Structure 1
């Protein structure tokens, strides 16, 4: 029942000669080692597969300049870097005594660059969480468009979901292309490649007329290729959320963010490296740098790094590709509530604050602060822990305020006196906070005889419960960070919590009601599966003012929107929610998941 996240990207450009990292860090594989850290710290963003690519600068003809490795499965990152290490050892083994020894310094570094894979200057990694399509290695990024010309070779990886793939597919067909499939990944790759070719041809023809030789022309193209112009043409019709990175075979690179800022992209630059990641804390961990030194790529802009560049100011590398909307950016809220790692300082504070903001609602349900002694607080799943900490801290402050009032009242009633015994009695109560649900392993629910009751029985045993903390007189208050479809809540969570035999269960969410599917940010579910939607529909059916006729009317209006121009479409589904408060919808959700 959790929302399905998309992907993670990690881009790294080394700004110094490879010998520099050998001398300073005593390693020939500085780039590979840092990419391993970055991708490991982004594994939560993609557990279906991963991939990495690297481009080498200034390789001789007949030598490879592009390395790529992709793997599927939950251990894809470990498998990839294990294979990279195996390849390195194999290269050294084949070379035998001709390979420079480990203590030969720069000589060994140069030899490895020309004789081993993944010893380049620029790297691009990707973590895939598949929401659409299959789970084969062909779906794993980075994707490569190969050419014998380095400047036409393109390697792309991204965290994106385009909503107008059909229109973009038709545009490719209309310019004479024959795309092999209709997907946003292929569409983006082919669209950028087309305008890369156009830019390439313009420069080629210009220098050909000037009488330059073929080799001189290719060198000039590599130097003067304007990726911002390529992207401005390629991305003008894209609709969706995207943060994508790419490299050309000649060593140029870019990271582009959508104009709404839906998908995240953070960068850090110093004299040694330029790094871009989907999450700030991955960069902090890999390079041990302060949070404030890591910045966001502004919405609608691309960070463009030329092969002979990277040492200029970041402000000079940022290029506006598409103008953000006048009403500001629309970054994915759920990214910060649920998906990104809570290790990021700002996200940690935000999630704690989300927990604290639930205090008044909880006290209202409990009957006031006087009833905190009969309340046990817990959380589920593990990602809700930060909001839970904020909630417990806030409740502790409420309890402290209650104690202060009791002490002052006692002093006032007893002529300025209070006994030590009475003071200890007032101070004794504490917020009862316990970890009651533990999900240690992933139970395989396919080991069932059918897809009905037996599967639900298996799901109900996913959590191990902590017994002995809750009594029959207690209200059990449990915080979650998202309630999407409500299936896990109904089938597994509530049934397990009720086994603890509390007086009642108060289940709360740090996320707002999820009323719509999200085609731009995180793919959550079909609209009809959202528990908030089902609750609102039921409320309409039960209300004599609306009923099924009102629901059918909205459905017809929605279908009419599909038949009309996309740019003029409006959200008619919001009418379903307009007649009820969030409290009414939440109450109906509670009825439906019992």
Structure 2
């Protein structure tokens, strides 16, 4: 998971890109980068760190031009080299910069093909660089003259979609030609675009989430469709085409559970409203399991579980209270590498208000339980603050399987629900009771908000890989590389995708 943005304007875009990346900071806290196009030249600055730390005044002044792209990178347990910060650049054909969100499941084979057949050298272990070179090669093959027509570009993206497997969304700037955005044929990773009408004409922005558009003053138009490419040419005209043979929409459910901001709309479904629905369905399950009468107060684990907890409390007729205060200057523990660092950060990140817990039976609501480190510490904090009983509820089902499409999931020995019953997980996190959302109810939470959404990428919950090309050997190889980072050949979008050898199922889209 990363944040990507592309802008075509009549004014310098450096500030627009910076502001959009700030709004997408939750999607990646490891590195950030911006590349702009000016007078047939690219200007680029990228480095490890938060957006606010990467860019200084001198960097912003150097980013000249009225079009460009930006990226904020999601930290993983793999490589965090600045060489793999994005955007990436190739000088032929035309000169192209690219920023990518997702993970290519066949990037290793593509890298070999690039070297043996396409005569292209890949300099890092990032699949984003592979994606850029595939795009560049197909553009070069499809181009017959010195200009690049939209139809030629769409032909190149069509071939790219046939060669590339996985979940991906990307923005690419082609020097003096235009801005390109495209999304994988399964619609796993999000991408949308908006416009800004001004005196000088229409300006365009593409971004991972609608919140980036709205925060920059752009009007959200629509999501980029699965397998669709959107191109804004040098004359500021927008062109689009479906560049896939059999596209289907299967958005990642984890975007709605945890990854996206609640004020975003993804594929026609308000993230906030889907989380409210998650709370409603979770409340019904708590009633079915006979736990409602034991609850005095409902509390969220801030921030992403708050909408679910509010609606859950309303449905149960219980008091809703804020028992934990969040330090907003500590990163997300889910995406922090290293168990010790995550455990230490929990109490730095959250502080309990003791009076809200004393003598009460407390229902704690979180968006999900992945490793269990945070959950265990929070349960203990509630007990230390005087809670009589601690019931824990997850707005998502148990995380049982690896994700191979751009979300960093723990290895088998870290994934708390793997190989354990609900009762055993409850014991591990030291709660008095534990309730997980049912997967069907999670999907209904999204479909209720947008009935057009009927199919989802939910492999971390059900083990069904929508691209149909994920083998047990592939999962074994990636898990081995996670445990042995010196063994190259298993890094994804930001290096080091965590996968495991589990019983799994595959399904064709």
Q: Is TM > 0.5 for Structure 1 vs Structure 2?
A: yes
Say if 2:84 and 2:124, in contact at 8 Å, map to a contact too. Answer: no
| 2:212 alignment counterpart | 282
* Equivalent of residue 394 in structure 1, options 306, 315, 336: 315
| 2:305 alignment counterpart | 384
| 1:339 alignment counterpart | 259
**Deviation at 1:307?**
1.6
**1:51-90 Cα distance to aligned partner (Å, 9 max, x none):** 111112xx3xxxx62211112212x3454252344x3xxx
| 2:57 alignment counterpart | 82
**Deviation at 1:364?**
4.4
Q: Which moved more, 1:295-304 or 1:268-277?
A: 268-277
Distance 2:502 2:340 in 1: 36
Say if 2:154 and 2:241, in contact at 8 Å, map to a contact too. Answer: yes
* Equivalent of residue 381 in structure 2, options 496, 500, 503: 496
| Structure 2, unpaired ranges of 5+ | 332-337, 425-469, 478-500
**Deviation at 1:343?**
1.4
* Equivalent of residue 11 in structure 1, options 6, 13, 36: 6
Distance 2:339 2:42 in 1: 50
| 2:435 alignment counterpart | none
- TM normalised by structure 2 equals 0.75
| 1:322 alignment counterpart | 244
Say if 1:146 and 1:153, in contact at 8 Å, map to a contact too. Answer: yes
Check 1:367–1:507 CA distance in 2 against 1; reply closer, same or farther (3 A cut): closer
Superposed, 1:258-273 pairs within 5 Å as 258-269=184-195, 270=197, 271-273=201-203
**1:495-533 Cα distance to aligned partner (Å, 9 max, x none):** 111113333211001112212111114122224432221
Superposed, 1:72-221 pairs within 5 Å as 72-74=48-50, 76-77=51-52, 79-80=54-55, 82-85=57-60, 87=61, 117-131=62-76, 133-147=78-92, 152-175=94-117, 176-200=119-143, 202-203=144-145, 218=146, 221=147
Distance 2:342 2:367 in 1: 25
**1:480-503 Cα distance to aligned partner (Å, 9 max, x none):** 00101112212x111111113333
Say if 1:332 and 1:521, in contact at 8 Å, map to a contact too. Answer: no
Check 1:250–1:517 CA distance in 2 against 1; reply closer, same or farther (3 A cut): same
Check 1:439–1:199 CA distance in 2 against 1; reply closer, same or farther (3 A cut): same
Distance 2:191 2:282 in 1: 30
**1:290-326 Cα distance to aligned partner (Å, 9 max, x none):** xxx430100011002222341xxx5xx111222345x
Q: 2:43 is paired with a residue of what secondary structure?
A: strand
| 1:26 alignment counterpart | none
Q: How many residues align?
A: 421
Please tell me whether Structure 1 or Structure 2 has the larger radius of gyration of its CA atoms: 1
* Equivalent of residue 284 in structure 2, options 357, 360, 373: 360
| 1:573 alignment counterpart | 503
Distance 1:504 1:458 in 2: 24
Distance 1:170 1:456 in 2: 40
| Structure 1, unpaired ranges of 5+ | 1-5, 19-28, 88-116, 204-217, 397-430, 445-450, 540-558, 576-594
Q: 1:531 is paired with a residue of what secondary structure?
A: coil
| 1:481 alignment counterpart | 367
| Greater per-residue helix proportion | 1
* Equivalent of residue 306 in structure 1, options 224, 229, 233: 233
Q: 2:229 is paired with a residue of what secondary structure?
A: strand
**Deviation at 1:158?**
1.1
State the Cα RMSD in Å.
3.2
- TM normalised by structure 1 equals 0.65
| 1:464 alignment counterpart | 351
Distance 1:452 1:301 in 2: 39
| Greater per-residue strand proportion | 2
